[in-house]
A = this chain, B = another copy of it.
């Protein structure tokens, strides 16, 4: 079979299986996830052996140490994946939830009930744990899932999808409700992205270039998240101790993630007091500072921030700092250079908090809290399949409910339209 027909066949089969998953009850879905968790632990040695094939090939082809690290399956990761599955078992099933219900003057009860989206395509790089996490979230929310992982992880992913199929089968569910496209050729992705009849949503997980190439080619809706250029604006009415503590947390607690702060905006009236103070704390943690001219008046030893710095997602211990005249300049800066991801204002002033909250239309807007909270788990969504920075369907951290849609349900007792 050629690539096109093979991919089409997989998608057709998943679509068919998705009709059964959509109607499976919560217990059955939870049993499947529990069986998968057990299979993972029971087949540790085999998984590590299959993963070794990928690691060896990766070394030969000169993958970086960081990439090999992401690719590696060790006992610790297997236990983590298994624990993650039990956490998803513990989450409430979104399918069948009635989001709201109201009564019409003619007595009709009209409501909105959650149903699965159908089939979700996940395109990702070489982290094999995504195979388990993403499958579990899609299955729990009643969806079929088609996975296309990085070619470097092909043996690991084939092994993992076998265990998923086993778990599904043990629970009496169709084993191919979660299927992997086991074709290394990139043409397989191109075909996948044209199958709008069988795939309802594409979620790419990985770097900006992967996401851009998926968006470029897809005929299926894509929920995307390019990057997080997150800002903190320290207002003239801020509690400066709080501002420093939050800035430090947002930059250094985990600098390599998308909700870390990349640019600090400081009101000019507090620049003199705040910048040397927070600068010292940040530099003590190894942060490289880059500032605008006004910033460098108070921190003369730091590098100059160039125009391109303001667009930069460093994902590293680097921070750009700009002094602004007021909240308007701060918001304009965010609108121009931001990525619609996450921004926070630090202020004691009620009106400025409200202004920032309503005028900034990023996916998460905070008052007096660290940008690092922009996360499905931290928001109490229970799990996170990704963070959307596009507005359609979902915006911001996406939980299980975002893998569903709602249908209208109407309960009558003989009503006709007049």
Give me the interface of A with B, judged by CB distance under 8 Å.
19, 22-23, 96, 102, 104, 108, 110, 113, 115, 117-118, 200-201, 221, 239, 242, 245-246, 248-250, 253, 335, 357-359, 361-370, 372-374, 378-380, 391-397, 405-417
B373 touches A407 (CB 8 A): no
A-B complex: 5 closest residue pairs judged by Cβ atoms: A369-B412, A249-B416, A372-B417, A391-B405, A366-B410
Q: Which residues of B contact A407 (CB under 8 A)?
A: 361-365, 395-396
CB distance from A358 to the nearest CB of B (A): 6
A373 touches B200 (CB 8 A): no
**A102–B367 alpha-carbon span in the complex (Å):** 15
A410 touches B367 (CB 8 A): yes
Give 10 A-B contacts (CB < 8 Å), ordered by A residue: A96-B358, A108-B369, A118-B391, A239-B414, A246-B414, A253-B416, A367-B410, A369-B412, A369-B415, A379-B410
A353 and chain B: residue at smallest CB distance: B411
Known contacts: A391-B118, A405-B392. The answer to whether A373 contacts B411 by CB under 8 A is no
**A363–B406 alpha-carbon span in the complex (Å):** 8
CB distance from A166 to the nearest CB of B (A): 28
Known contacts: A117-B392, A379-B104. The answer to whether A369 contacts B414 by CB under 8 A is yes
A408 touches B374 (CB 8 A): yes
Q: How many monomers of this chain does the complex have?
A: 2
CB distance from A332 to the nearest CB of B (A): 11
Q: Which residues of B contact A104 (CB under 8 A)?
A: 378-380
Known contacts: A369-B415, A372-B416, A414-B246. The answer to whether A380 contacts B102 by CB under 8 A is yes
CB distance from A288 to the nearest CB of B (A): 21
The one of B22, B221, B368, B397 in contact with A361, judged by C-beta atoms closer than 8 angstroms, is B22
CB distance from A139 to the nearest CB of B (A): 17
Q: Which residues of B contact A253 (CB under 8 A)?
A: 416-417
CB distance from A105 to the nearest CB of B (A): 9
Q: Which residues of B contact A239 (CB under 8 A)?
A: 414
A373 touches B22 (CB 8 A): no
Q: Which residues of B contact A392 (CB under 8 A)?
A: 117, 200-201, 221, 392-393, 405
**A378–B107 alpha-carbon span in the complex (Å):** 12
CB distance from A102 to the nearest CB of B (A): 7
| Given A102-B380, A368-B414, A369-B411, 13 additional A-B pairs, CB 8 A | A108-B373, A115-B361, A115-B391, A201-B392, A250-B416, A365-B407, A366-B412, A369-B415, A372-B417, A373-B417, A392-B393, A394-B405, A396-B407
A105 and chain B: residue at smallest CB distance: B380
